Structure 1
């Protein structure tokens, strides 16, 4: 199930679908989305030689959307309303596999024991929100690597026997795609990837200075591809840090610069196109840094909120490169970052190994499918279809049926 405003969570679990179909051909594997864009995005990850699974559409009511906006987006009311309106549909399933924690609302507020909830986090970053208490309500948790497992165990949100390390399915989603070029020259490419969190994001304090810097020079190319949520809303809210900030619009000057490529939320901003194309990463707390260091390269971090980060696990990635507390040494640091220093290369390589458990002989999608099959005990499911009536419309003309 995919129940979020945007597409950035899709690639984390969609690659599992076809593997689960192959592994369990007698089981019903179905997909729930909350927008047509999500449906299209999921279909891009499906194996063309397999039957397309049934797609169900859940949508929130208009009042929830208006209320969420009026409250400054502090609460995910649209996601919650989509859950509450479709409990009958969800009760038909043995399990829901999800990449976000709002789904635990089905247990904590709706009192549902069925379906079982299986969680795979959308990213392998360091922010404390990734280890929230909501995770303890999941029946089973799939993990990308040892780092996430240890922090979740330390936080008490998973326990022995209710989780398994399976790797990172998102990596296989782009493994066979050619690397795209975004500039017609061979100048170094910088990816500026600020987060949307109003406290942690460097955008609100340094964003325009950074764009000004690159717009007024010709040595570097810049890809400005922030977290997709930064430019989806004018008012940015953080539940974690109880903070609101207003985001200003981009100047036309930046949009017209030949050496600046701007993407505030297309599918390329979430499919690793930019982390693969860049020579240097510039950012703050986005988990995309971990996808970037799959191939170790220079990284620069902006401390815009005076974080005491050196021993804080929520900023572990800031050890991958220099950290700037202001912009006074930005140009000097940028020039000195290439080539990647040996000690940063070693730190990045070790962090990647701890963050992602990758198997050369078996894909992460396959491992995740096996973990789901083992947990749900698919082999003992009845082979016949069980009709399930619901008011939620299935996309297309596929019949209603129970699913894993």
Structure 2
């Protein structure tokens, strides 16, 4: 295929991707990522915490993007906005709607089917949507979609950083020449440090180095145990995830988009017009069946019910009022010891706050002694 034919195929692929609803698309070859050494150093420093899937065999696969899918030579890298102008809240914006994994996997498969139809033959390909051993942001930078911000997010100069990444790994036959995009080499953060300064838990070791074990997203979603007491108060009203480092980024302030009507990423009814206290109380009152019904088809099911209840206890300990004490006290019958402990600490914090403000305590305000004390 001539260079003109290669460029034409790339243009057709991009046009189809845009037609399917993707907001950005770039094409790159596969191989060792430019960030391989930084990734290894990050793992070695222990910044991955309990995310063991990033180490071992998972790390080895991530060290060369040709390894996850046998035969693949190129990646069509895609970005889909999930809205950056919706109000802040106790749940990160990306998790308020339907599970992006399922939706984007099907949309990416649709691009695969179109490519097979366009070339008139079967194509060895596989979609990846934040669920395989791939350094997605490295691949996206390699495909020209943006640069690594100081908050480690990929930032695009036209839409900011409130977007999902997905990719279609494809095997391009020797008789097909596919034009690829230039990497995005520029760093457009300049001297700005708003994201680093705004982090509630000061999780950034430095520009582009995140200690995940201090990040609110990790603490509320990935951590399968007790949250460090020193990090509970800085969590404020966050129940699931955190958008602070993106909210303050000038590129998002200027370029992040609102969600279009009917978007699958629009907030579910359980999150609409609901503050952190209200949502926390609702989560504490849920049983397993209610949790399954409320979060069916939601990315939030990555966190088990007991984890959300643990987070809810922290939130009520931070922003709760006397009206929330009963919800915390109800957790003393909780099966999960970690939830009971977080509730007890939250009640103790509430009691201390009321004492400091000279509000008299009632017998019901005194926290029950945790069973593990």
Q: What is the TM-score of this pair, normalised by structure 2?
A: 0.24
Task: Normalising by structure 1, report the TM-score.
Answer: 0.23
Q: Which has the larger radius of gyration?
A: 2
Higher relative contact order (CA 8 A, sep 6+): 1
In terms of fraction of residues, the more helix-rich structure is 2
